[in-house]
């Protein structure tokens, strides 16, 4: 039992004892010499072998820790790069959404970005009037007039989506324009609403 305790004590302290031998007092040095003399050669050799093995394991573990630290640092760099990419993409998305919203507003409300001569568009007709010429007020891309002098039709707004045009029509009616209704155009030519809705439905 005493030998076992002594063996464990020597294993735990051998590294420190060998490294700190120069700092030992004379009394401590004598004591350790006595303990070493009591060891059998085989025990002493075993201690040295175990000490060497432990030092090798410590070196191996230090190398592994350094490798892990390197991998962690590399992962941190990758994460930082991905976070930067995500931030850039979010910024691009926000800009694209803002631009799209502005385009939709322009298309739905002003008609300024819609080419009326291409594809299907919808307008809201305010009414058809005889002997009333409002062309002098036609200074907006939203407002247009068509027809002969004896019966001139006036429209407002340009929409690609029928439901947006219909919603605008309802607003106008609530404002008192009771004769407001949605009319349709295809490639710049006025066509019946049924024809347009059927062609849109087939696509």
Residue 73 lies in a domain: no
Task: Report yes or no on 78 lying in a domain.
Answer: no
* 114 shares its domain with 188: yes
Q: Is residue 98 part of a domain?
A: no
**Tokens of residue 147, six digits:** 């027809």
Total of domains in the chain:
2
Last residue of a domain, one of 38, 58, 78: 58
Last residue of a domain, one of 34, 58, 82: 58
pLDDT at position 109 is 46
In the three-class reduction of DSSP (H, G, I as helix; E, B as strand; rest coil), residue 157 is classed as strand
| pLDDT tens readout for residues 47-60 | 778 888 888 888 88
- Whether the per-residue pLDDT at 38 is higher than 80: the answer is no
pLDDT exceeds cutoff 50 at 203: no
Sign of torsion, CA 151 157 160 164? negative
Average pLDDT in the 26-45 region? 76
Within a domain: 95: no
Does 64 fall in a domain?
Answer: no
Rounded Cα distance between 163 and 155, Å, is 16
Asked whether the whole model's pTM tops 0.75, one would answer: no
Q: Which comes out higher in pLDDT, residue 166 or 1?
A: 166
How buried is residue 165: exposed, middle or buried, by Cβ count under 10 Å (0-12/13-18/19+)?
Answer: buried
- Tell whether 67 is covered by a domain: no
Is 100 part of any domain? no
User: φ, ψ for residue 41 (rounded to 5)?
Assistant: -55, -40
What is the domain extent for residue 198? Answer: 109-202
Verify that 38 and 113 share a domain, yes or no. Answer: no
User: Does residue 130 lie within any of the structural domains?
Assistant: yes
């Amino acid at each position: 039992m005493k030998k076992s305790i002594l063996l464990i004590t020597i294993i735990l302290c051998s590294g420190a004892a060998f490294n700190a031998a120069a700092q030992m007092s004379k009394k401590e040095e004598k004591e350790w010499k006595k303990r070493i003399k009591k060891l059998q050669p085989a025990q002493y050799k075993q201690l040295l072998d175990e000490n060497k093995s432990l030092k090798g394991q410590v070196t191996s573990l230090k190398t592994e820790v350094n490798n892990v630290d390197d991998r962690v640092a590399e992962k941190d760099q990758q994460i930082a790069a991905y976070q930067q990419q995500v931030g850039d993409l979010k910024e691009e998305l926000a800009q694209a959404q803002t631009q799209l919203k502005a385009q939709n507003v322009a298309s739905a409300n002003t008609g300024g970005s819609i080419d009326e001569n291409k594809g299907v568009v919808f307008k809201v007709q305010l009414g058809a009037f005889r002997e009333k010429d409002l062309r002098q007020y036609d200074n907006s891309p939203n407002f247009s007039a068509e027809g002969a002098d004896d019966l001139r039709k006036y429209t407002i707004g340009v929409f690609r989506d029928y439901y947006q045009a219909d919603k605008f029509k309802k607003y106008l009616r609530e404002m008192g324009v009771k004769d407001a209704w949605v009319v349709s155009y295809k490639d710049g030519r006025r066509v019946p609403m049924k024809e347009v809705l059927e062609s849109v439905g087939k696509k």
